[in-house]
Amino acid sequence: MDDGELLFLGAARQADLVRSGKVTARALTEAALRRTERLDPRLGAFRAVLAGPALAEADARDAARAAGEGDLPLLGVPVAVKDELDVAGEVTTFGGAAHRVPAARDSEAVRRLRAAGAVIIGKTAMPEYGQWPFTESAAHGYARNPWDTARTTGGSSGGSAAAVAAGLAGAALGGDGGGSLRIPAACCGLFALKPQRGRVSTAPHPHLWYALGTIGPLTRSVLDSALLYDVLDGPAPGDRWAARPAPTSFVRAASTEPGRLRIGWSATPAVPGVRPHPEHVAALRRTVTALRELGHDVREVDPRYPDTTAAFLPQFCGGVRAEARTADRPELLERRTRQTLRLARLVPEAAVERAVRAGERMAVRANRVFDRADLLLTPTLARRPRRVGALDGAGLAGAMLRSLPMIAYTALWNVTGNPAASLPAGFGTDGLPLAVQLVGRQHDEATLLQVCAQLEAARPWAHRIPGLAL
């Protein structure tokens, strides 16, 4: 099979091929690097490509398999890593120019990927400190959507999304502090599950934007996501939050029929004043029909969302401040970031902790929707993906206003900590993917994976991208 066929198979199938000896880890890694060399100049998915270390790691995977030690879930799979996660020997830039010192060791999530047999092939682009739902930075330019390179990938894990969507990696790690996995998944036609807060370790840091942030994968399929969560699951010493242990493996959950569920749906955004694009509402209604055809009891609900600004904004400011304190060259921070840090001076640590506690109270209110539903279905985004340059000329206030339609359905669930997934739902008239969001009860990723896998089987989403010789 050619490079494109091999790289569009996704993580689970790629690992199967390497374990069976039909493909070597080196051949798979070389294919990913060739494709990246050819396509990434047009996409900007990677901040750094780790060709030499990746090939050495692939050779080690092949040697382990030859020695009978290759029964690993991600054996030989090329995985990209968002540039807010440490990779030993590489600078963690957080999307900017102010960090210059290489990391001494892998973050816990990256360590677990390597232990499972993955090959780390590069670090992906992000906006500085992940502040925006557009992957644009002064230091590294734009990440571009593989479906239309004039359009945004979303953000902040947009480089990771572009890498997976274009077949440059079998899977990629990102982070989600307000929708930063789900938003780029929606823009780029991928699956992303934001896990329950504390499901994946944030070590060496005690938290990611306090209670808001989680780490997780962007993948081509539900099964790929479940496979990576089986690898990533579980806290590490020093983590501030820890999710309840999963009742079963995530792969087993994704392979199990859920039975008949009560699913509430709503097109109402959680941000006042934002109106959803008509094509997003139409995709939502088509998904309602699909779920009913699968046997579920699907009814419109009024979620009665709380206003989470008082919980979200202080944690956003505190999270950016905590990451910026590690900068080696703070004078090189972007203008918007300096504005965020000036705002953060008005938010002392005690106020951030009050915001964490306020979020816990808001979570009780938001979760009342699950008294009458097992899952909640909404759009993922309120608007279509913008043209690249969404942040051009914008200060802090302007960037926040431009961001609201992108986070209007997602950021609430970072405040509450609930698991929430974005899954493809067809294509808009602009040729770009459509998506819907499914939200689960706290700690219940299993039910989300079951229903997302059902929908994927009922209406398979496109895995290859036409155009650009992709």
Helices 25-43, 158-165: axis angle to 10 degrees equals 120
Q: Where are the beta strands (DSSP E) in 129-276?
A: 136-137, 141-142, 144-145, 148-152, 171-176, 191-194, 214-219, 262-265
Q: Cα dist. 288→14, 270, 308, 423, 452 in Å?
A: 33, 19, 27, 14, 13
Of residues 191, 254, 183, 195, the one with CA closest to residue 220: 191
Q: Encoding tokens for residue 115? A: 């232990």
Based on the residue annotation, tell me whether 123 is a catalytic residue of this protein: no
Q: 98: helix, coil or strand?
A: coil
Q: How many CA atoms lie within 13 A of 125 on its CB side?
A: 31
Catalytic residue selected from 107, 156, 221, 225: 156
Tell which residue, 411, 442, 354, 366, has the closest CA to residue 212: 411
In whole angstroms, give the CA distance from residue 268 to residue 302: 8
- 211 burial via Cβ count (<10 Å: 0-12, 13-18, 19+): buried
Annotated catalytic residue 180: yes
* Rounded-to-integer distance, Cα 176 and Cα 418, Å: 12
Q: Looking at 157, 160, 180, 201, which residue is catalytic?
A: 180
Are the C-beta atoms of 361 and 216 separated by less than 8 Å? no
DSSP three-state, residue 215: strand
Q: Is 255 a catalytic residue?
A: no
CA distance 214 to 232: 12
DSSP 153: -
Rounded-to-integer distance, Cα 437 and Cα 217, Å: 16
Instruction: Identify the active-site residue in 82, 137, 160, 225.
Output: 82
Q: Say how far apart CA 427 and CA 174 lie, in whole Å.
A: 24
Q: Residue 60 and residue 402: Cα distance in Å, rounded? A: 46
Active site residues: 82, 156, 180
